Amino acid sequence: MKPRFLITAGPTREFLDPIRFLSNRSSGKMGYALARAARPYGTVTLVSGPVALKPPQGVTVVAVTTAQEMAEAVLKRFDETDVIIMAAAVCDFRPRRVAARKIKKDGFSGLLELVPTVDILAALGKRKQHQILIGFAAETNDLESNAREKLRRKNLDLIVANDASAMESETNRVTLFYRDGRVERLSEMPKTRVAQAILRRIIALRT
């Protein structure tokens, strides 16, 4: 039976008021490339934050905006999925309160209180049974130690780590950290080729 893939892509947006939001630099290109690369292997559902990308052919796309919406979309489909690739750059924090109206400059106190968003990957790591769970780590420093710690703490089978500078780039240079301790460093290449390389390794994990 062909595997069922669930892939996340893009950023999330966490609103301050009806106009302004917190977000990040993720373009969604890596996640969309992964969805295209996965399609020949099985069925693919792509849960996507707001991006300016064309939906991949043959892929079911679920559009979301906030971290909470992404969590709900992923958890709803998780039990019927075989491979989960969490490539989205989910915001780690959101404003504690969302203003009902636009916040005026002269009415802003200068303080913005933030609270953590739901940790989707950690929730999946606790819940997984037969699934293969893949995470991503975009780091600005201590890439290897941060990736290894995330791999262990979130009960992943594989984590794909790269420098955060790749977020808006057409290329990527990634390092793969496996659950069994293996490390594989790939050379810099277009994200389409990175996605194909990652998919080949994921399929190998299932055999």
Please give the positions annotated as active site: 24
Q: How far is CA 161 from the centre of its chain?
A: 12
Which of 55, 3, 11 shows the shortest CA–CA distance to 33? 55
Residue 104 one-letter amino acid: K
| Alpha-carbon span 161 to 175, nearest angstrom | 5
**In whole angstroms, what is the distance from residue 80 CA to residue 89 CA?**
23
| Eight-class DSSP state of 11 | B
CA distance 190 to 33: 10
Neighbouring residues of 62: CB distance < 8 A, sequence distance ≥ 6 = 45, 46, 47, 48, 73
